[in-house]
Structures are given as C-alpha cells and as structure tokens.
Amino acid sequence: MSQEYVVATVDQVPAGKHIIVHVRGREIGLFNIDGKYYALPNACFHQNGPLCRGAISGTVVVNAKTEWKRTWAMQGEVVVCPWHSLEFHVPTGQCLAYPKRKLPTWPVKAEGDQITVTM
C-alpha cells in the first residue's frame, strides 16, 4: 500500500538541482525542474549504474520537424547516466534511446518546507 514519505526540505533541492534520498530501502533521485518535483530510481536498467548521480542536461533531437538538422532540446529535463550515458527524460522516466523502456516515477509534492514522495 502506498504511503507518503517526507524525504527532504525544499531548500535542499532548489530549481535545477537533484539529490539522492532513501525511501523504503531504495535510493531515489529527487529532481526540481522549474519548481516541479520528480522522483526516479537511482538505478539505470542498463547495467545498474547510479543514474541519478548523473548530470542534468538537454539532448540532441533530429527529426522531420527539425528538417533532419541536429537541434538541442529538453534542456534541464534529461538526466544522463554517469556510467554509459544512457539518457532519461526526468518528468516521464522515458528512456530516450529505447522507446519501449521507461523507469518508474513516483508522485512528489512540496508542502510547506517539506518534500514528500508517495511510494
């Protein structure tokens, strides 16, 4: 049964930053993107690397809309695994390389000066 856990205070995770917290025995990456909070597991499914210790970035997008030119997009929304550079879209957990692979995400909210994750 899911439950809310207080995991951090808001001043620990200012906009553009992310930290690692522990919830129910799991390591979770807690992200603040423009004032919205997100949580991803700190484990990349590729080789179990510490995904959320990776840098926040954008990514290269090439498609018909960009007229097949290289463009930079999603700045601040992509976490890159520090081991082998697999990229994940933080708000959705979507792996950018593999359209069928998504990481689980958990609801995060700030109440007063506390941040809670429902897990």
Interface with other proteins by CB under 8 A: which residues?
Answer: 46, 59-63, 68, 70, 84-87, 96-99
Q: Are 5 and 116 in contact (CB under 8 A)?
A: yes
Q: Are 53 and 79 in contact (CB under 8 A)?
A: no
CB-nearer residue toward other proteins: 98 or 107: 98
β-bridge pairing 56-61 and 36-41: unpaired
CB of 98 to other proteins, least distance (A): 7
Report the chain's C-alpha Rg in angstroms.
15
CB-nearer residue toward other proteins: 10 or 53: 53
CB of 58 to other proteins, least distance (A): 10
CB-nearer residue toward other proteins: 26 or 84: 84
Q: Are 102 and 111 in contact (CB under 8 A)?
A: no
CB of 84 to other proteins, least distance (A): 5
